[in-house]
Chain A
Amino acid sequence: MSYSAEISRTNPSCFIFVIDQSGSMADPFGGQAGKRKADGVTDALNRLLQNLVIKCAKTEGVRDYYHIGVIGYGANVGPAWLGALAGSELVPISQVAANPARIEERAKKVDDGAGGLIEQKVKFPLWVEPVANQGTPMVRAMTMAADMLNSFVAAHPDCFPPIVIHITDGESTDGDPTQAMQMVTRIASSDGNALLFNVHLSSNANAPLAYPDSAANLPDQYAKLLFETASELTPFMLGIAQEQGYDPQPGARGFVFNGDLALVVQSLDIGTRPSNLR
């Protein structure tokens, strides 16, 4: 049965985040003036990295259940890590834990136990900063992701299939990315093919759409391309999408169109919730 391999330190899996850092990411989320897409996506990614590290933390340290890559594409294509990890491709999660670029203190509202809310300071580690600059070289970014996955799967042939989460707001400026995306999803371990999630933060005014099973209601060629290249949700992921209140049909894909930030965060959760962490 596919997508059932145990994730362990001897058989780790892999996540790669591919983040659009083109100039248009400086625009606000639709209907959410004041928050730039680049800020929202970076916050969501930093929080997700934090949660992944916490899930792998034991009292003796952080267990390397995952290797993590973050590719940014805009003015350049390459690893988007800052600080000590700058320039690194796939990083064992214990190294991610040990090397945030910096740790901010942020205020969080928590229940005071008497029906009110109080502000509490929480640590917020940062590995990636918002960038919004120049074009959208998606083909090069996906080719880089495929190269990284090929190396990972060669070293871990029986791993739980790697997951690539791609967040973009625009059209590729270096050609049709279809082939590069297919290169990603053709990469396979003995447990199944790599999974690609496309999160499309379109500037199109259409209503948000999550995990469709057909491209019929998508407004443009570009959304259709990102739908067609996204992987079908695994049964486990379908279950989480249902838990989150969606009604994905069999054949639903890891594709989100025009999501607000909450939907982007939810889709990251669906893509990265550990299913069988040991």
Chain B
Amino acid sequence: MNVETRVLWLPKAGNTENEYEDAFYLPKRGRDNQPFVCALADGATESLLSRQWANLLVKRFGRQWRAADAWPSWLNETLRVWQNEKRAYMRRRARAGKPVQWYEEPGLEAGAFAALLGLVITRAARGGQWRAAALGDCCLAQIRADELVDAFPMQDASAFNNRPFLLSSNPARNIELDAHWRFAAGELARGDRLYLMTDALAAWFFRAREAGARPWQALDAHADDAAFAAWIHELRAARLMRNDDVTLIRLMI
């Protein structure tokens, strides 16, 4: 199944690109006979090493995700890799003469946190099928013929009011995970568009939709880096969008 991809992202205003804590994974080349897999993650501002954790999650989803019911083994292996990455990070800090400071210790002990949304697209008898897994408030919207046909895991703007349950690098913080994973699937037709969005953009998307607009048209209209950045700045300045890292993965089927 041929999937055309586009990623647009922007750090929160006031932050540098190095401080951007969302992460995304897209395959280097789509191959016709293979499922198409992509992922989006949003590292929590309050936690330490969020960017690294978000990056690991999307990479491991992209390359190692098998099936929804196999998430425990996927997560265990991800946590094992994380322990190695964290140890390597500590060694780098020590070698650079920048040992961990007292104010970093509680955050490193508590663990890193991130929301994750992963998507797998496969060819089906007619068109294709998508399957998605989500933990937290990254969102997927499916558009067909200028209509919203599906959204996952959030369906409306009010769902963004609560603090979401996030995936933690600290296993002790992942108990109850079973109750928080969301899985969904849907049919795809040629010409469909899928938008994967981190929370600030997704919340704007649903608010605009609820006000009667077709927010995907605005997403399509600002499809290059410069136009996207200028448009997001405008939304933030008008307080129509929370100042946060923003990432959009747009897929054309």
Residues of chain A at the chain B interface (Cβ within 8 Å): 6, 8-11, 50, 53-55, 57-60, 62, 97, 103, 123, 125, 277-278
Contacts and interface: CB of A to CB of B under 8 A. Distances in A.
A8 B14 contact: yes
Contact of B104 (A6, A50, A57, A125): A57
Contact of A123 (B19, B45, B102): B102
Interface string B99-118: 00111111100000000000
A97 B48 contact: no
Given A55-B46, A59-B48, A59-B49, 17 more contacts: A8-B14, A8-B243, A9-B14, A11-B14, A53-B103, A54-B106, A57-B101, A57-B104, A57-B107, A58-B48, A60-B19, A62-B103, A97-B101, A103-B102, A123-B105, A277-B45, A278-B45
A97 B103 contact: yes
Closest 9 CB pairs of A and B: A57-B103, A123-B102, A8-B14, A10-B14, A53-B103, A59-B48, A54-B103, A97-B103, A54-B106
Most chain A CB neighbours (cut-off 10 Å) among B101, B102, B105:
B102
Contact of A59 (B14, B104, B105): B104
Contacts of B233: none
B45 to A, nearest CB: 7
Nearest to A56: B103
B131 interface: no
B209 interface: no
A54 B45 CA distance: 13
Contacts of A278: 12, 14, 45, 243-244
Contacts of B103: 50, 53-54, 57, 62, 97
Nearest to B112: A59
Contacts of A60: 18-19
Contacts of B102: 103, 123, 125
Contacts of A55: 46
Contacts of B12: 278
Contacts of A10: 14
A55 B46 CA distance: 7
A235 to B, nearest CB: 15
B14 A57 contact: no
Given A62-B103, A97-B101, A123-B102, A57 B48 contact: yes
A278 B243 CA distance: 8
Nearest to A59: B48
Contacts of B18: 60
Interface in B11-64: 12, 14, 18-19, 45-46, 48-49
A8 B46 CA distance: 13
Nearest to B239: A4
